[in-house]
Amino acid sequence: MFSGQDLIYACSAIGAGLAMIAGIGPGIGQGIAAGYAASAVGRNPGAKGDITTTMLLGQAVAETTGLYGLAVAFILMFVKPFS
C-alpha cells in the first residue's frame, strides 16, 4: 500500500495545488482594475499618467497574495520536511 513518506508526498502535491488557487483572486482583481482604468482614461485622457500609476500600484499590491500562494506551493513541492 502506501508508506508514510508516500502519504506526505501526496498531501504536499495536493496542498501545492490548493495553494495555487490563490492566483485566481489577483487575476480577477487585476483585470477589473485594468478595465476601470481604461474606462477612466476614456473619460479623462488628461489624467492618463495619474490613473496608470495608481492602477499599477494597486495591481502590484494585489499580486502579492498570488506570489505568496506560489511561494507556499514551491515550498510544499520542493522542500521535503520529513525526508
Residue 14: what are its φ and ψ, rounded to 5°? -65, -45
Confidence at residue 83, expressed as pLDDT on a 0 to 100 scale: 56
* pTM of the predicted structure, to 2 decimals: 0.74
Q: What is the pLDDT of residues 51-67, one digit of tens each?
A: 999 999 999 998 998 99
pLDDT in tens, 4-34: 888 888 888 899 999 999 889 888 989 999 9
Measured distance CA(57)–CA(50) in Å, rounded: 11
pLDDT recorded at residue 23: 87
CA atoms within 13 A on the CB side of 71: 6
Residues across the chain: 83
pLDDT at 50 over 90: yes
Q: How far, in Å, CA of 27 to CA of 66, rounded?
A: 8
